[in-house]
Structure 1
Amino acid sequence: MCKYCEGEYGKTFKIEQSSDNTESITEGFISNTKDDKVAGIVLLKHGTAFGVFDIPYCPFCGRKLRS
């Protein structure tokens, strides 16, 4: 377990923007709450949720998440 996948909401991580697109996704975090059917990465655009996708494993430490 790592700081990015521990608890219901892991530590927010920064996503680097490309130099030609300043309106892209800026941050993300792993959501693994009891209400989630599957764990997922929530993508943030300047602090607002912009998208989410399911993940079976933590991309940082490899731990299996709820599926």
Structure 2
Amino acid sequence: MSRLSRLSRLSRLSRLSRLSRLSRLSRLLRLSRLSLMSRMSRMSRVPRMSRLLRQSRVSRLSPLSR
């Protein structure tokens, strides 16, 4: 019985640790995504990036205009 109780405790702990890890990972992912978005917005302010974006938009729209 003691073994079983120990196992159950371990399993519970492992589950909790997994959950915490998952939550941490999700938080990290969210943060990284936010940072990426902010970086992209900052980059879009740079004329070079804006030009590239405009070109890509034009290339996308050109077949439609034809």
TM-score by length of 2: 0.21
Structure number with higher helix proportion? 2
> Which structure carries more strand by proportion?
1
TM-score (norm 1): 0.21
